[in-house]
Amino acid sequence: MIKFNTLDYLKLSKWDRFCLKIAVFLNLIPARIFALVKKLLILIKNLLLAIYNEAADILVTFINGDWKTRLSYVVMGFGSIARGQILRGALFLLFEIVFILYMILAGGHWLSLITTLGKKGPSTTYDPILDVYTPVYNDNSFKILLYSVLTVFFIIAFIFTWRVNIKQNKIAQKILASGKKLKSSKDDLRSMVDDQFHKTLLALPLTGIIIFTVLPIFFMILVAFTNYDGSHNGFTNSLFTWVGLDNFNTMLSWTANTQGGVQSYSATFGEVLTWTLIWAFFATFTNYFLGMFVAMAINKKGINLKKLWRTILVLTIAIPQFISLLYVGKMFAKNGIINGFLMNMGWIETALPFWEKANWARVTVILINIWIGIPYLMLITTGILMNIPQDLYESARIDGANAWQQYRKITLPYMLFVTGPYLLTSFTGNMNNFNVIFLLTGGAPTNPAASSAAGSVGYTDLLVTWLFKITTGAEAAYNIASVIGILVFVAVAVISLVVYNLLPSIKNEEDFQ
């Protein structure tokens, strides 16, 4: 590790300092990766340890427990009811009854089919009297998978609740043994709006998130290991089953072609990923710097009607993005208003191919995104700009710094410091920015080598729009889409983690003013 003392560091020229920073950064990468892996291993170790501890605790509680506790192992809530905590006990018991009923009536059935995802597929029969062909629908792989996953979740929830029940018994026993009184039901109710208020508040939102976000994501991850697509939709044309890592192989191989295209999935993935990263980079940073610039321009001393300028820009946020993007997209069409205007003025002879050529389309999309994004960025940066202490600028001016130097040394570092995390979330958000691309171009112009049947992957397609086309196109390759989704997630997560860990180092560097 290269170490400089402060004096020597200040002696270095600017260029050397820059090189030094890069060298330090690169030097740190292997150490960082190593640290990350170490953290992961520690996490796993802690997890296993925790499970072991829990198991041990359960055993110990049973051994040390009185008859009320031991009975609670089978009849949940019994211990609580027997000790006078009616409310808690009743809730536990109710949960157990519901769970057992569910497993008997439905859960067992679904779980039994989870390995095969259905045994009997659909068939067609001919009715000679009526002269019609009617389908016979049997198992539904999709439903089997869905409800099995739900059942598994339910089982996990039950185990968790059962564990809590045991713990409660243990704690209650201890409290009684030491002579104190247990909380009554009334106390419980009161604590729900007081020190346990967070549980009350979080109950509903978390339930919603678990059912409507966690469950679908988990389900889609599982789909990546099946062959669920348009020709195997699990019900009307064929069942689908587990295929292990086949989809990953297809995705990452260089030979299997995209559906309908002539280049491999991995080549298409590479192309689309590259464009997605470029797009996210430009979309985030052009908006950021230009928005900051506009905010500074409006903020400058001597500019009147500040509110008017801000209001006009903010108007763009008010209009639903849907309308403005669709309309602006049409404005740039071959027979749209922009071309019409330019031709009427005589500045061009033929219509400019805004959406017809790949690079034109890409640049246009970035430009229009600037139009969408600047007002929002302007708002944010205005707020922060106003917080920068003015005397910093004064002292800089006295020292002879011009506007550009003031910007570089004071404004920019401060802004980056405060909005670092925001930039990161903005970058990853832009990587998944479906609306702008879909409404403006729909991914056009088409990339013929990569096109998917009836989906036409294009040069402006992001990973998310490509995903959308795969799932809603004619081939409906949900399995491939899930694989891509997982890869997207990994890409975004890696970028976020890396950059997030990078931020503190930037912070520390710039803090010395």
Name the CA radius of gyration of the chain, rounded.
31
- Write the secondary structure of 112-142 as one string of H (helix), E (strand) and C (coil): HCCCCCCCCCCEEEEECCCCEEEEECCCCHH
Question: Smallest gap, in angstroms, from Cβ of residue 275 to other proteins?
Answer: 16
Stretch of 59-67, 243-251, 265-273, 369-377 lying at the interface with other proteins (CB under 8 A)? 369-377
Taking a C-beta distance cutoff of 8 angstroms, is the pair 463, 484 a contact?
yes
Chain centroid to CA 473: how far? 23
Q: Is 303 in the site for other proteins (CB under 8 A)?
A: yes
3-state secondary structure 257-277: ECCCCCCEHHHHHHHHHHHHH
Among the residue ranges 55-63, 90-98, 189-197, 269-277, the one whose residues contact other proteins (CB under 8 A) = 189-197
Interacting residues with other proteins between 376 and 395 (CB under 8 A):
376, 379-380, 382-384
Work out whether 471 is an interface residue with other proteins (CB under 8 A). yes
CB of 20 to other proteins, least distance (A): 30
Residue (of 446, 445, 484) closest to 463 by Cα position:
484
- 323 counts as binding other proteins under rule CB under 8 A: yes
Mark residues 417-436: x for contact with other proteins by CB under 8 A, - for none.
-xx-xx--x--x---x-xx-
Residues 6+ away with beta carbon under 8 Å from 125: 133, 134, 135, 136
Alpha helices in 225-304 (DSSP H): 246-252, 265-299
Is residue 284 near other proteins by the rule CB under 8 A? no
CA 104 to CA 109: how far, in whole Å? 8
**Where would I find the H helices in 193-264?**
197-209, 215-223, 246-252
Q: Measure the CA–CA gap between 464 and 275, rounded to whole angstroms.
A: 12
Cα separation values, 131 from 123, 126, 135, 236, Å: 17, 7, 13, 21
Out of 148, 259, 268, 364, which residue is the one contacting other proteins (CB under 8 A)? 259
318, 345, 391, 513: which one binds other proteins (CB under 8 A): 318
Residue 71 or 487: the one with the smaller Cβ distance to other proteins is 487
In the range 117-136, which residues lie near other proteins by CB under 8 A? 122, 124, 126-136
Residue of 81, 283, 366, 492 interacting with other proteins (CB under 8 A): 492
Interface with other proteins, residue 202, by CB under 8 A = yes
Which residues ranging from 335 to 354 are in contact with other proteins (CB under 8 A)?
A: 335-337, 339-341, 343-344, 350
Residues 133-172 that bind other proteins (CB under 8 A): 133-137, 142-143, 146
Residues touching other proteins, count (CB under 8 A): 135
Q: Whole-number minimum distance, CB 495 to other proteins, in Å?
A: 10
Report if residue 201 touches other proteins, rule: CB under 8 A: yes
Amino acid type, 421:
P
